């Protein structure tokens, strides 16, 4: 079977052929200008990572990297069947929903003395034990417990085969972000986020790329963030950032697709429309990054070190913070292990 296009090339390939999702030039420029105004703020640095996720252990702690691996291996499909029935986890007086329920649950388990960041433990954890770790504080459980269990135990076994920690596993790729992504998708099946579009094998690699970006965030905070090829990473194509890109005018859906999503139709993983939403999101952020770097070079006469991962680290919390203003824009619903 032919190797799939990498995510950036996949995004371009999809955007050039897309029938229901369109990258909007004026919106790309607008978002680039918005980010240009923030270019000196912490929001557009890797150190913004810890600020975006206060539930992560201190980057200097021994558990930080394994915590990242555990969370990113189960980082998929948090949207509720009904908005009124969300899984919730309360930790230290704050109630979390969505992705943050997973972070809160893992950090809560660590405080309870459960060795959830130890591959020896999580490679063999039972479904019941994981269900206890991920327990909700209301009647709505976290979706896809069996799939999360399979992904976590499988990932744990891979770490045990490669030195027994995420650090020892990922070090096989040297300090090259691209090689890290390739290693992850080669060795861990649940990270193989691929599809066929217009007869071509493509890849989106949302979780593999975010795992590398989170690794970089931790290492950067430790003063060891000299990872090459970070610019090779794209944004992490999920269901929240596309909503922000539509809101900001960098993407546009056809009337038909917009109505389909408003009607609440479930899109299967690999559905043409689902691939177009994710692929065009990747390509629009690539164009935003290129435009932003051009502005920095033209106006400041400086080189631009903002990459697509940093733009994603900004857009994802932005979407969460502006969710009320964006409520009229539907997110797409796909129940799968890739995002």
State the residue for tokens 């270019």. 39
Find the catalytic residue in 72, 193, 214, 238. 238
CB 191 within 8 A of CB 185: yes
Long-range CB pairs of 328-331, under 8 A, 24+ apart, other chains included: 329/243, 329/246, 329/247, 330/243, 330/258, 330/261, 330/262, 330/264, 331/79, 331/239, 331/240, 331/242, 331/243, 331/261
User: Using H for helix, E for strand and C for coil, what is the string for 34-94?
Assistant: HHHHCCCCHHHCCCHHHHHCCCCCCCCCCCHHHHHHHHHHCCCCCCCCCCCCCCCEEECCE
Separation of alpha carbons 192 and 205, rounded Å:
7
Any bridge partners for residue 22, and if so which? 252
Q: Which DSSP helix (H) or strand (E) runs through 169?
A: helix 166-170
Q: Which helix (H) or strand (E) holds 207?
A: helix 206-221
Q: Measure the CA–CA gap between 281 and 32, rounded to whole angstroms.
A: 15
What secondary structure letter does DSSP report for 258? H
Query: Of 311, 249, 283, 276, whose CA–CA distance to 24 is shortest?
Result: 249
Residue 238 annotated to the active site: yes
Instruction: Identify the helix (H) or strand (E) that includes residue 193.
Output: none
> 3-class SS at 322?
coil
Concatenating the DSSP letter of every residue in 137-150 gives SSS-PPS-HHHHHH
Rounded (10°) angle between helices 64-73 and 99-111: 140
Is 201 exposed, middle or buried (CB count within 10 Å of its CB: 0-12, 13-18, 19+)?
Answer: middle
Which residues are catalytic, by number?
238
């Amino acid at each position: 079977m032919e190797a799939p296009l990498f995510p950036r090339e996949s995004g371009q390939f999809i955007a050039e052929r897309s029938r229901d999702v369109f990258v909007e030039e004026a919106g790309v420029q607008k978002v680039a200008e918005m980010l240009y105004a923030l270019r000196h703020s912490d929001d557009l640095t890797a150190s913004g990572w810890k600020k975006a996720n206060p539930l992560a252990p201190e980057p200097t702690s021994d558990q930080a990297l394994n915590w990242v691996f555990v969370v990113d291996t189960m980082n998929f499909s948090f949207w509720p069947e009904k908005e009124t029935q969300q899984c919730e986890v309360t930790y230290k007086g704050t109630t979390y929903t969505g992705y943050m329920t997973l972070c809160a649950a893992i950090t809560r388990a660590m405080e309870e003395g459960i060795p959830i960041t130890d591959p020896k433990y999580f490679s063999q954890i039972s479904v019941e034990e994981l269900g206890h770790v991920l327990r909700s504080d209301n009647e709505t459980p976290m979706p896809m417990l069996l799939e999360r269990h399979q992904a976590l135990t499988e990932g744990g076994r891979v770490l045990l085969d490669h030195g027994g920690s995420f650090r020892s596993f990922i070090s096989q790729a040297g300090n090259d972000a691209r090689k890290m992504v390739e290693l992850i998708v080669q060795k861990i099946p649940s990270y193989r986020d691929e599809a066929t579009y217009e007869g071509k094998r493509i890849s989106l690699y949302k979780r593999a790329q975010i795992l590398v970006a989170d690794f970089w965030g931790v290492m950067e905070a430790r003063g060891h963030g000299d990872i090459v090829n970070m610019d090779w990473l794209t944004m992490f194509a999920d269901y929240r950032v596309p909503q922000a890109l539509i809101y900001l005018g960098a993407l546009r859906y056809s009337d038909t697709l917009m109505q389909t999503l408003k009607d609440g139709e479930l899109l299967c993983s690999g559905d043409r429309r689902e691939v177009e939403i994710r692929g065009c999101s990747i390509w629009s952020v690539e164009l935003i990054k290129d435009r932003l770097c051009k502005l920095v070079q033209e106006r400041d006469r400086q080189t631009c070190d903002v990459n697509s991962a940093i733009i994603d680290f900004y857009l994802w919390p932005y979407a969460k913070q502006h969710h009320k203003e964006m409520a009229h824009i539907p997110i797409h619903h796909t129940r799968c292990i890739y995002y």
